[in-house]
Structure 1
Amino acid sequence: MPLLHRPASWDVRHLPRAEGKNFLVTGGNAGIGYFVAEQLAATGATVIIAGRDPARAESAQASIQTRVHGARVRHVRLDLADLPSVKACADALELERLDAVVCNAGVLLDQPPRRETRDGNELMFATNHLGHFALIAWLAPLLTATPASRVVTTGSFTAKSETLDLDDLQSTRDYRPKRTYVRSKLAQMLFGFELDRRLRAAGGATLSVVTHPGGALDSLTPSRPPIHVRTTGERLRALPAGLLLQGKQAAAWPAVRAALDPSVRGGQLWGPRVFGIRGRPVLEPVRGHLADPVLAARLWAATADLTGLEPSI
């Protein structure tokens, strides 16, 4: 487990410059991922938005270029639930260096029935976990060839209190949508920590960092038309919730810091300062099952078997 240390001061509104760097943000066309992409673009870096819908990705690109003067943004198609699409995305990047991948995209189904991908995997587990595992497997050579590159995995604070059933990763026996979603996010976080262990064991310079966004509401999120439009009524009604929660622009801060801050170390967990649900990004302890290397290694093996891939680190 990485030791906690005192990181350097960090101003979420005055980010360090990152000209010449390339960042890939999955799900960067909407929600928290959009604001991760917008904030990274403001540093002068090149940001690649990866998403299922090219039209929505194009709208996100246009929005960022409108708000960030001289923004370098492009998009590639990525359907994390479809392994051939993941491979095609990796091939389409055509980059000489990749400084960070922000594994942000996810799907949440809020009611039955249980849905499967064409490969026969449960949709949320396949999208949130298996697809990102496959993406990193295919991008591993590019990441390891880039000095001080990073893999930033976005989990969920709710995953801290969930358990993972290795004998039913696909939720075939007892499908409950919200629990299945949280377990998929737990799997993502375990992957991020295990990836760092393996990178360290191999002597690699790539860092694997895990983050979570806390609690974020659309009604607390500033408008970015046509991607997100918040009415005056929604803003006023959401004011009481702002005492406990935050908008998606603030929920992006932990992932942005994990991608940019030179004081960040591999194997760390970053989340919001106030009760883990709102505020500026701070370092959190890695405890309980999140720190279980046996569980993470078993999940890694199961994931490699399901995808037929093994990240070459």
Structure 2
Amino acid sequence: MSSTSAPPPWNVHRLPRADGRVFLVTGGNAGIGYFVAEQLATTGATVVLGSRDTAKAEAAMASIRAQVPDARVRAVRLDLADLPSLEASVGSLGVAHLDAVVNNAGVALDDPPRRETTDGHELMFATNHLGHFALTRWLMPLLAAAPAARVARVVTTGSFAAKSERLDLDDLQSRKDYRPKRAYGRSKLAQMSFGVELDRRLRAAGGTVASVVVHPGGALDSLTPPRPPVHARTAGARWGAAPAALLVQGKHAGAWPAVRAVLDPSVHGGLLWGPRVFGLRGEPRPEPVWSHAADPSVAARLWDASSELTGVDPGAVLGAIG
């Protein structure tokens, strides 16, 4: 009989220790990214908030330290919409290795007109997908340098909004027919497709890094616990949203799939993790990767287009670090 005991069931409120590990969370100063960072900070790991707004990052770090007094948390300036700046941002991390990056930051616009970055890319597609595509390329050597005993991870945060969308490979930047909500859903679908394809390429190259895709389900501000000044919630908003809690959840719970994807040793690359109840709320569990996010021919064309638009290719370094 083996003396090896089975690992305890996953408990979102009692996370395993991760002392000595280093995690980067893009957009860690607000929303779901903030709660990913706060929860990871309880494990003893060093958590780096990637944020384009220094003041918001400082507020987020103060809030995390108020919740987790011994938190090892710091920030790095990171603007995903500014592609030329990303290599320098990674250089400023000042770490010898990285155990995980949570590609979480995102922009969601509700109304026209269509907006572009200084590079001429549609803002949501550029920030949500192209920025993370390029960032992953610059982070890959640090991820590959993580100790061999633990598999470093690229965790990509998708969205339930992507489930009903399909990529238009001939108009990835919505130049012909711009509809904000559709453009957002497609940008998140592009992120998810990239995450799945990245894992395929890592496996093919014999890489030691895994790529996992997650989505938060339905996550509302009104169901999120207050973290002033990062997030404030009135009693009226809380009670008004109470009926919605039967179907969706707060952003603290929306962080659970990403946190598990970072920490749980049983999580493997190429998987999709989301909330247990109808994919909208509850504890994290694996679910089948959506077929349109896993189509290898679409993913390959998206990868090539993304490489051309960003001027970098994460795949170019995979063989060297495999």
- The TM tier, using the shorter chain, reads over 0.9
Which letter does structure 1 place at the counterpart of 2:122?
Answer: E
Which letter does structure 1 place at the counterpart of 2:115?
Answer: R
Query: Does residue 261 of the first structure (1) align with residue 260 of the second (2)?
Result: no
Mapping of 1:19-168 within 5 angstroms?
Answer: 19-146=19-146, 147=148, 148-168=151-171
Unpaired runs of 5+ residues, structure 1, are 1-6
Percent identity (aligned)? 71
SS in 2 for 1:167: coil
Residue 232 of structure 1: how far off its partner (Å): 1.1
Q: Deviations over 1:146-179 (max 9, x none)?
A: 1310000000112122100000001000000000
**Cα distance in 2 between the residues matched to 1:282 and 1:275:** 11
Residue 200 of structure 1: how far off its partner (Å): 0.1
Structure 2 counterpart of 1:300: 303
- How high is the TM-score relative to the length of structure 1? 0.97
8 Å CA contact retained: 1:21, 1:99? yes
**Cα distance in 2 between the residues matched to 1:216 and 1:205:** 32
Q: What is the RMSD of the two structures over their aligned residues, measured on CA atoms?
A: 1.0
8 Å CA contact retained: 1:209, 1:267? yes
Structure 2 counterpart of 1:17: 17
8 Å CA contact retained: 1:76, 1:89? yes
Q: Deviations over 1:187-234 (max 9, x none)?
A: 000000000000000001100000000001111000000111111111
Q: Deviations over 1:6-27 (max 9, x none)?
A: x972100000000000000000
8 Å CA contact retained: 2:197, 2:294? no
Which letter does structure 2 place at the counterpart of 1:135?
Answer: L
**Cα distance in 1 between the residues matched to 2:28 and 2:117:** 22
Structure 1 counterpart of 2:178: 175
**Cα distance in 1 between the residues matched to 2:165 and 2:232:** 33
Structure 2 counterpart of 1:4: none
Number of matched pairs? 307
**Cα distance in 1 between the residues matched to 2:239 and 2:118:** 43
**Cα distance in 2 between the residues matched to 1:191 and 1:201:** 15
Unpaired runs of 5+ residues, structure 2, are 1-6
Residue 273 of structure 1: how far off its partner (Å): 0.4
- How high is the TM-score relative to the length of structure 2? 0.94
Query: Does residue 185 of the first structure (1) align with residue 188 of the second (2)?
Result: yes
Which letter does structure 2 place at the counterpart of 1:156?
Answer: S
Mapping of 1:216-227 within 5 angstroms?
Answer: 216-227=219-230
